[in-house]
Structure 1
Amino acid sequence: MLMTPSQRYFFDVAGYLHIKNALTEKELSDGRLACERYMKLEDNQFPDGFGKDGKRYINGFAFDRSLERLVFHPSTWPVIMELTNGKPKLVSGTLQIDQPGAEGGGLHCARDDYGWESCRYEVKNSRIYCDNFVVFPYFDDVLPGDGGLLLVPGSHKAQFERPRHLFQDGHPSDSNNLPEGIINVTPKAGDILVMPELMTHGILPWQPTDRLRRILVLRYAPQYRGGGGVPESLEGRLLPETQELMSSAHYTHVKTITEIEPDLLQD
């Protein structure tokens, strides 16, 4: 259960993966319905452990089994296994929704936010290791001109700090006037993106007046990194496999879930 040679090469060179048509029609339909149910809740209706913070719906992955199963999705599990060297940990899983008029966000990365020593990305024994990355399942189409995610391909391996005047002072806001070196990725519903937090990225304002951008933000790290988890009120709601995936463990510990075929984790 590792990345394919093509995935490995592209991820190493570009710094991200765009897995097209990853979700089945049923996975997509069930996921959308779960998103809608969460969105419709009033502030006084959120169960313990859930809530809203701007465009972020807290612990969205745990709201419904259809969303929770995506943390082990067969299309991304080999990638997760390789990047964590077989020692995976789900740190958090937020449902993020851009509604009409949603604002964008400036360029940033873990290196900018937390310091050069905050993340690792390296290659050993012809395998990629990355200790802080995100998986984004998409529930809606993003079309050219809509807005959404910005990436600076290759920046995950940058050896120099980003000059703040570059890329329109780090705040590009128009998909039709992007500075050289930046791309606006436009996944379709059912696609999944994978990106290291070392990648310089941002968000364009959401332009459509009649469509949403709904994604899960699934953060992963090796099992021996601290942080993350869910409140106790949510732990019993999760599958045993998900609980194990979210648990911290020693460097040498082998989690049972790593020895199960990802298709079986969907049952």
Structure 2
Amino acid sequence: MSRIVYVNGDYLPEEDAKISVFDRGFLFADGVYEVTSVLGGKLIDFEGHAKRLERSLSELDMPAPVTMDALLEIHRELVARNEVHEGLVYLQVTRGAADRDFAYPAEPKPSLVLFTQTKTLADAPVAKTGIKVISIEDQRWGRRDIKTVQLLYPSMGKMMAKAAGVDDAWMVEDGAVTEGTSNNAYIVTKAGTIVTRHLGNEILHGITRAAVLRFAREAQMAVEERSFTIEEAKDAAEAFITSASTFVMPVVELDGAQIGDGTPGPVATRLREIYLEESLKKAV
């Protein structure tokens, strides 16, 4: 059976889906996106993703193509039609099609596209071994808090990591780690404190990040939201990342240096368990 996708009001087989060559997402990367995980056929943290989408649209003065309630129903319909038990729903909104001009069109007609991906998330084998990362210079634009489709440099970072024989890259600016190519970055100090960069324009305000930090504080874990360096990370007891597609993923090596004992640590392991348990309770 062909995968069913959603394009501007229609549910279509993926091979029949089309978007205008004049779409500003294609011409200018003038668009935003969200990725929501699916577990047990239900959406994880949908409300958080919907709120962040609204913020991204507002920051770019881009109209929403549908209401958030309608968006939830589209997500559910796609999950049902594609029989997705575990995986992801990708959503993209652009300013729509208009003759090529750097200025925004006076009356934009936004484009809305969604598709699903079936993928093992909860029992991903790599969660038991952890991932390896390298550090790279952060060369992205200054408004990383807006979840835009401008993902060329993160893609380049992924390829730098692949060329180095590792899983991902942490980006560094002014001597401090900002985030991973598609995730938020954390360390756990030898005193047991979870450290992750404070919110600002320099990083994406992760939905999984917010949930994990809330769960950590509820579990009486110490949390500090501040910058940290590569040197501090190498000396940490543990490290991990969070994202909608990886949940809480241990990091066991940075720039060739083993972190902790080189295996997933107890804090990251427990936070992954808590996140899965608590998020499934509120899944929609």
Give the structure-2-normalised TM-score.
0.25
**Structure having the larger proportion of residues in strand:** 2
Larger relative CO (CA 8 A, sep 6+): 1 or 2? 1
Give the structure-1-normalised TM-score.
0.26
